Amino acid sequence: MTRSRIAYLSVSVVLVLLVATGVLWSVGFRRAADVVTSTGDTVCEGTRPTRVADDGFGAEYFRRVGIPMRRGFACILHIEVRNNGDRGVRIGQVRFPAGPSAGSAYEVTSIDSRRVPVDDESDGGDAVVDLDRQLDGGESYVVEVRVRFRESGCDGEGGAEQPWPSIAVNSLLASHEVVVSDVPSFLGTADSTCDE
């Protein structure tokens, strides 16, 4: 074999590998993008979820669930993860603001019955749990997130915190973060105020 022929074959092999990798990533990304989330019922003790106006999008009629942060409250949020595609994907990390090292008046204590590890350095104040769960096409799975009042935290009375949790979805070579946009807001009360 001549040198030019070897070079030609080498370039051809590299191009075929690059195209194959791109195709796998593209197919995987489309599969991951078929996954959607929605927040179902919120069950609380020590506080009562309410509907609050959310004019953040310029639409006063848009209302969302708000959880008043009362001393001793505890709630379970039910987040449905639904695979609208026809192929399986893998659910990875669930990341929810207000983990053990955050400063808000609520904290996430468990995700999917798994205690949230206390790691002040790596989580950036988020509660992080790796579900590592297969979700086949057309299937749904409900992730339970437990939150409670944090005595050492504070949020001003009349204020609101809007968390934006995310769920990692993987398929083939692609990874995609699905943001859960409809979780309840956490509403500041006299119990959660930063004032002494």
Q: Which pLDDT tens digit goes with each residue over 87-123?
A: 889 999 999 987 656 778 898 999 999 988 765 555 5
Cβ-based neighbour number of residue 21 at 10 Å = 12
Residue 136 reports pLDDT greater than 60: yes
Element (DSSP H or E) covering residue 7? helix 3-33
**CA 153 – CA 166 distance, rounded (Å):** 23
DSSP code of residue 120: T
Residue 25 reports pLDDT greater than 60: no
**CA 24 – CA 31 distance, rounded (Å):** 11
Confidence (pTM) = 0.77
**CA 28 – CA 26 distance, rounded (Å):** 5
Length of the chain: 196
**CA 18 – CA 22 distance, rounded (Å):** 6
Alpha-carbon torsion angle 22, 25, 28, 30, nearest 10: -70
How far does CA 180 lie from the centroid of its chain? 5
Dihedrals phi, psi of 46, to nearest 5 degrees: 85, 0
Confidence (pLDDT) at 80: 94
**CA 185 – CA 190 distance, rounded (Å):** 16
For the chain, domain boundaries: 3-187
**Residues 41-45, mean pLDDT to the nearest whole number:** 93
CATH fold of 3-187 reads Immunoglobulin-like (2.60.40)
Cβ-based neighbour number of residue 160 at 10 Å = 19
- CB 45 within 8 Å of CB 145: no
